[in-house]
Amino acid sequence: MKTLIFNGSPRVKGNTSSLVEALVKELEGEVKIVRAYDCNVRPCIDCRFCWKNPGCAIKDGMQEIYGDIQEADNIVIASPTYFSELSGQLLAVLSRLQTYWCAKYLRQEVPVPKKKKAGIIIVRGGVGPLTRGFDTAKVLLGDMNAKSVGTVFADDSDNIPSATRPEVQDALRALAEALNKRD
């Protein structure tokens, strides 16, 4: 079992990262974490290479991540929310999934044939809707042929550390159980 986690937190010891660490402890098999703020991935530049060609014209760390996506059994998107959306750096990294969208809708190909289970972790410090980041994560997961089997919402993280909340820990365990389940 291989799980690929996209961590959109800029803080290594922040609430989102703490929840990712707690999830990893519950997961079976191999886990790889892509930290959006530390990886060598540039955002999509809309060069339109992928309109007619598989892959991406930009040669950077995303090439390895494309391989990780293909091999993964599970994919998790974890992010704090800023202005009710996933973090900007995570969106920049995942903008490179444009090649999958173009494969499916322009080139009539199946870019990620292996179906995957997915999870979403959304952390909010203050106010604003939680659903916008969640909806974006679902779209991105769909581009990777991954269907969500669980979501963890951690609210009010500016006042209460997410990892200390029993309901958040319960949701993380439920997500891990769903991801660990063999189909």
Dist CA 92 CA 131 (whole Å): 19
Residue 182 structure tokens: 């063999």
Q: Which of 81, 80, 75 is nearest to 34 (CA)?
A: 75
Q: H helices within the chain, ranges in order?
A: 15-26, 62-71, 88-94, 98-105, 131-143, 166-180
pLDDT of residue 24: 98
Beta strands 74-82 and 85-86, pairing class: antiparallel
CA angle 48, 92, 160 (to 5 degrees): 160
Dist CA 141 CA 54 (whole Å): 19
pLDDT of residue 130: 76
pTM of the model: 0.96
DSSP code per residue over 98-112:
HHHHHHHHTS---S-
Q: What is the mean pLDDT of each run of 10 residues along the chain (183 residues)?
A: 97 96 98 97 97 96 97 98 95 98 96 97 86 95 97 92 94 98 86
**Helix 166-180 / helix 15-26 crossing angle, nearest 10 deg:** 40
User: What are the extents of the domains in the chain?
Assistant: 2-180
Give the Cβ contact number of residue 128 at 10 Å: 14
pLDDT of residue 35: 98
CATH architecture, range 2-180: 3-Layer(aba) Sandwich (3.40)
DSSP H/E element including 2 = strand 2-7
Contact yes or no for 49/98 (Cβ under 8 A): no
Contact yes or no for 24/76 (Cβ under 8 A): no
Dist CA 50 CA 32 (whole Å): 26
pLDDT of residue 131: 85
pLDDT of residue 82: 93
Dist CA 62 CA 56 (whole Å): 9
Residue 62 structure tokens: 């995303």
DSSP tag of 44: P
